[in-house]
Amino acid sequence: MIDVAQRDEALARFQSQIGVDFENAALLNEALTHSSFTNEHPECDIRDNQRLEFLGDAILDFLVGEWIYIHYPSAREGVLTSVRAHIVRTEGLAAFAEQINLGEYLRLGRGEAASGGRSRAANLCAAFEALVGAIYLDQGMKRARAWVHRFLEQRGEEVSRHYGPRDPKTMLQEYVQGRLHVTPNYRIVREEGPDHAKIFTAQVLVDDQIWGEGAGPSKREAEKAAANAALEAHSVSR
Catalytic positions are: 57, 129
Question: Which burial class, exposed, middle or buried, applies to 136 when counting CB atoms under 10 A from its CB (0-12, 13-18, 19+)?
Answer: buried
Alpha-carbon distances, residue 24 vs 27, 63, 136 (angstroms): 6, 23, 12
For the beta sheet containing 209-216, the strands, ordered from the edge strand earlier in sequence to the opposite edge, are: 185-192, 199-206, 209-216
208 alpha carbon, distance to own chain's centre? 32
- Answer left, alpha or beta for residue 193, where phi above 0 means left and psi between -120 and 50 means alpha: left
CA-based nearest residue to 96, from 152, 58, 56: 152
Alpha-carbon distances, residue 181 vs 24, 74, 124, 231 (angstroms): 43, 21, 32, 17
53 by DSSP, 3-state: which? helix
Residue 111 one-letter amino acid? G
